[in-house]
Structure 1
Amino acid sequence: MTMARVLRLHPEDNVGIALTDLVPGEEGASEAVPRGHKFALRLIREGEFVRKYGQIIGTATMDIPIGAHVHVQNLGMGEDRGGDAGQSGMPTITPAAQQDSFLGFPRADGRAGTRNFIGILTTVNCSGSVAQFIAEDAERRGLLNDLPNVDGIVPIAHGTGCGMADRGEGYDILLRTLAGYAQHPNFGAILVVGLGCEVMQLPVLQSAPQLKDPAHFRFLTIQNQGGTRATIDAARPVLRELAETANQVKRVPIPASKLVIGLQCGGSDGLSGITANPALGVASDMVVAQGGTTILSETSEIYGAEHLLTRRAAPEVAEALMARIRWWEDYTARFGGHMNNNPSPGNKKGGLTTILEKSLGAVAKGGSAPLSAVYRYGEPVRTSGFVFMDSPGYDPCSVTGQIASGANLIVFTTGRGSVSGYRPVPCIKLASNNDLWSRMGDDMDINCGDIIDGTSLQDKGAEIYAAILEVASGKPTKSEAQGFGRVEFVPWQIGATM
């Protein structure tokens, strides 16, 4: 069977998508059009809206002849964004007829872990290397070798915690993020290491009621211990005690309603919004139907498509989302930026021209469920269903916030390719196209490029959902197998560095 080489996503679209590289004269193209890129299906006049997905993705900056390649040379942001979402009224998701389960780690607060790590959390960059040294010492000595239910030790180092204001939005975000990791269900126990003189003082974290249990939470300060070597020596028996406590918890069947999935995309291309993202949206709906939670984020990458979310939300939830959009417009303007600073050079090479186009594809990760809540960065997610967490579009920073909010598994779509992992949380990578799957198969878990070849979105979504249950039950992802997750803890930094 001959597969289509051009795709028109909506009857109102005036551009088609090349599913393979086209040369002049092929499939109505008047010039070369790379795979994933757009070309004009009719004459588009200067100033006219360009439409994809039946939505506005920008304005023609010149007359675009029929068959011409539509991209940065003739398509701009324009003054308008958004459009008709194509539906009105609140959607519903029918609860699943059968309750699925995974093998996870039950936690005292009612949440569930998909992994059972010992964490070494740092309050400041100055204690980051010592946290790494403690972990290396424990691994070298085989400290966990006889503890089969513990998955390993995860040191969490970062680049902030001092040289910052001791109050305000930036401080609050870092405190929320560290507290979220300290209490994360994928950690069976936590050792927190501080230097002693930093702005983000260890006693502030230590004072949280949830961190009072010495069987699961312990604290060390390098200056008080007497330096690096003394801190490593002091940490060794502490880690062993924490690990023995964590080892008492075993994997047991847990309802899929305890899944909290962070939805992410990075290195997107022109096919991401057609294959991997909507397929993940199907899987998201399946998780929600089980009573679970999925978290969409990257506020700067839903810009221009927010109407597709607000129309799926109660008025107060829609207003909460729009408040974050307005905050971002002000935030970028304050620093001389603009919201269309996105897409990145790699996105553009893959066929994405404006943030409107990128956002319309990115929102597809959220499926069709109602938007039930909006959270700030790193704020604990306590609402089941499909929710939104405010964050930058920078992938490591956004995922860090989702994990701090309680995500126990990440699913990450990519069209250009991504090499990253997010310990203590496993990350499933979805390739948007067959070429990426063949080139970077060691980093990709599932190929969504075969949707172009005829695999249905429903079938691919079911495949992704099945993989979520398998990974939540302990199956390693490609990024876990390669050891990723050592440098991807990137809290959102707002405010002056002093």
Structure 2
Amino acid sequence: MDTLSATLPDTLGNPSSRALRLHDADDVAIARDALAAGTALAEFGALAVLNDIPAAHKIALRDIATGESIRRYGQIIGFATRDIAAGEHVHTHNLSIGSFERDYAYGSDLKRVDPPSAPLTFMGFRRADGRVATRNYIGVVSTVNCSATVTKRVAQHFAMPGALDDYPNVDGIVPITHSFGCCIDHNGEGIQQLRRTLGGYVKHANFAGVLVIGLGCEANQMGAMFVAQNVESGPAVVPLVMQELGGTQATIDAAIAAIDKMLPDANRAVREPLPVSHLNIALQCGGSDGYSGITANPALGAAVDLLVQHGGTAILSETPEIYGAEHLLTRRAVSREVGEKIVERIHWWEGYAEREKGSIDNNPTPGNKAGGLTTILEKSLGAVAKSGSTPLMGVYRYAEPVDTHGLVFMDAPGYDPMGATGQIASGANLVVFTTGRGSCFGAKPAPSIKLATNTKMYDRMRDDMDINCGDIMDGGVTVQEKGEEIFQAILRVASGEKSRSEALGVGDDEFVPWMIGAQM
């Protein structure tokens, strides 16, 4: 079975060992902690470390000739750019991306998903139309950057002490603002995608009601957006146009009055036991490091397997971050058609990078590289581990409504807030975000759970991190055990327990739609 989850050990061996080999075919080991030059690695036949090796970085386990492929997780992560001696640090100075053939083997690794022994529930909100929410917000959505200030000031009014005291069942007022909406092709792909994204938020189950605020003369006309996204105005969706109402202050006053009318109805919402099949989880990783694909990502994958077993949905995303690992997904595709959609998106991104005179291998950030990740191939293999092992049921364009259960994929760039924005627009009602460097992330209206890949960062950033997955590397906790812990945390947060980012109030400024097309 050629899936990444099948190559990763459930336990990571003796925690006193200095380095970890993840697969018998690997050419490198991963340093558990920083290693000084001259350190002898007894677990590899007293191999001597030739250079100082930072924690989570790679050590060559054999002599590697220029041009040879180098494997981690049993998969190719790049090619040697010069001769590398056993014991040498392997990183950007001697390893780079290269071309090689993938065997897509569509559907060859399909895994049967057995039903759970007992169904589980969480405490959610059921909307009148049957949609299910994990939070009970009111949203204020800008059609264009020109109405962003009005949108923010409306939300600020209700953030004042005591403003919502009479409405304990309302979680807050969320501003959804952005920097786009005008000077683009009125009928082009860019405005269609922006409308799809905004429409997904306007219709999101976690909003009990929504105000949509426009300037009036923008390319993203509110009426056209409502028609394109099948949005109907009414008591729970109120459109306001600044130029028609008389400007900034008049619109702020009208918006506050409209929300005052919404609040009593929104406050009537109460949580009730609902099947886990109503949960739709956005899978994200950011500020990754060399531990991400060993601890937090495979543990999240184990939680995803449990979620899917109970009928829930998980959305994997960020196409550049599956590049080089897409063959592990095509092998799990429920049909050849689904698998080919993944490959088509990969080819689109290759062409896009070429047109922009860039490299898809630029995706690992300086922070990723400092954390031990060298190429996009290596980063992608770790990122795909978030998806677990169940069948890939569908592939969606950015912000398209997800209309199937199980594991699915949504096309998006590798920028975390942009990917999460699309996933939430697609229907995700909760986000689980793994990080090795320490991303401080939230994404209202969906609560965000953050998983730390290593104990040192978790201890340093406890205010931001919900769960420490570093104890997998430290020893004593298996990937499966940590996956169960994550799954239980998902159920608690979905039922109303505040995540760390929610407690800090993070999430009002993380709406970042993927804007494509020329700006005129």
Question: Where do residues 62-141 of structure 1 align in structure 2 (5 Å cutoff)?
Answer: 62-80=82-100, 82=102, 88-140=108-160
Q: Which residue of 2 aligns with 1:452?
A: 473
5 Å matches for 1:406-417? Answer: 406-417=427-438
1:21 aligns with 2:34: yes
2:319 is aligned, of 299, 307, 313, to 299
SS in 2 for 1:104: strand
Deviation at 1:4, TM superposition (A): 2.0
Corresponding position of 1:207:
227
CA deviations 1:127-175 (Å, max 9, x no partner) are 0000111122233384432112111100111010012111121111101
Q: Which residue of 1 aligns with 2:449?
A: 428
Residue 511 of structure 2 is matched in structure 1 by 489
Please say if 1:368 is aligned against 2:381.
Answer: no
Local SS of the residue matching 1:140? coil
The aligned residue for residue 56 of structure 2 is 36
1:161-207 Cα shifts (integer Å, max 9, x gaps): 01211112111110100000000011000010001010001112333
Partner Cα separation in structure 1 for residue 274 and residue 234 of structure 2: 26
Q: TM-score, normalised by structure 2?
A: 0.93
Displacement of 1:358 = 0.4
In 2, Cα distance between equivalents of 1:88 and 1:218? 49
Contact 1:55 1:83 in 2 (8 A): no
**Aligned 8 A contact 1:81 1:304 in 2:** no
Q: Show the 5 A alignment for 1:242-253.
A: 242-253=262-273
**Matched residues in 2 for 1:142 and 1:182: separation?**
26
One-letter amino acid of the counterpart of residue 499, structure 2: T
Identity within the alignment, % = 56
Task: State the distance in 2 between where 1:177 and 1:278 align.
Answer: 29
> Equivalent residue for 2:9?
none
Match of 2:146, SS?
helix
Give the Å deviation of 1:366: 0.1
Work out which of the residue numbers 412, 415, 418 in structure 2 matches 1:397.
418
For residue 261 of structure 1, the aligned residue among 276, 281, 291 is 281
Residues 278-299 of structure 1: CA deviation (Å, up to 9, x unaligned): 0000000110000000000000
Give the SS at the match of 2:474.
coil
Matched, 1:467 2:489: yes
* Alpha-carbon offset, residue 108 of structure 1: 3.2
Deviations 1:79-138 (A, max 9, x none): 226468999331122121111111111123432111000000110000000011112223
Tell me, yes or no, if the aligned pair for 1:57 and 1:81 is still in contact at 8 Å. Answer: no
CA 438–85 in structure 1, closer or farther in 2 if over 3 Å, else same: farther
Return the offset for 1:227.
0.9
Question: Which residue in 2 is equivalent to 1:477?
Answer: 499
Matches within 5 A, 1:257-406: 257-313=277-333, 314-406=335-427
8 Å Cα contact 2:396-2:402 kept in structure 1 = yes
Q: Partners of 1:171 and 1:205 in 2: how far apart?
A: 9
> SS of the counterpart of 1:211?
coil
Distance 1:427 1:106 in 2: 20
TM-aligned CA deviation for residue 312 of structure 1: 0.3
Structure 1 stretch 196-205 or stretch 64-73: which is displaced more? 196-205
In structure 2, what is the Cα distance between the partners aligned to 1:171 and 1:209? 12
Tell me if the contact between 2:318 and 2:411 (Cα under 8 Å) persists in the aligned partners: yes
In structure 2, what is the Cα distance between the partners aligned to 1:475 and 1:89?
A: 37
**Conserved 8 A contact 1:266-1:413:** yes
Note the residue ranges of structure 1 that are not aligned, 5 or more in a row.
none
Whole-Å Cα distance in 2 between the matches of residues 19 and 81 of structure 1? 31
Q: Contact 2:300/2:386 (CA < 8 Å) preserved in 1? A: yes
**In structure 2, what is the Cα distance between the partners aligned to 1:57 and 1:207?**
46
Give the 3 Å change call, closer, same or farther, for CA 83–431 of structure 1 in structure 2.
farther
SS at match of 2:159: helix
Aligned-residue CA RMSD in angstroms?
Answer: 1.6
Partners of 2:101 and 2:85 lie apart in 1 by 23
Q: Give, as a single letter, the amino acid of the residue that structure 2 aligns with 1:17.
A: I
More displaced 10-residue stretch of structure 1: 142-151 or 300-309: 142-151
Amino acid at match of 2:90: V
- Return the alpha-carbon distance in structure 2 between the equivalents of residues 286 and 101 of structure 1: 13
**Bigger mean CA offset, 90-99 vs 319-328:** 90-99
Query: Could you state the TM-score of these two structures normalised by the residue count of structure 1?
Result: 0.97
Report the secondary structure of 2:154's partner residue. helix
The amino acid that maps onto 2:32 is: L
Range that drifts further, 369-378 or 160-169: 160-169
Q: Is the 8 A contact 1:144 1:240 kept in 2?
A: no
- Count of residue pairs brought into register by the alignment: 498
The verdict on how the C-alpha distance between 1:125 and 1:87 changes in structure 2, with shifts beyond 3 A counting, is: closer
Letter in 1 for 2:28: V
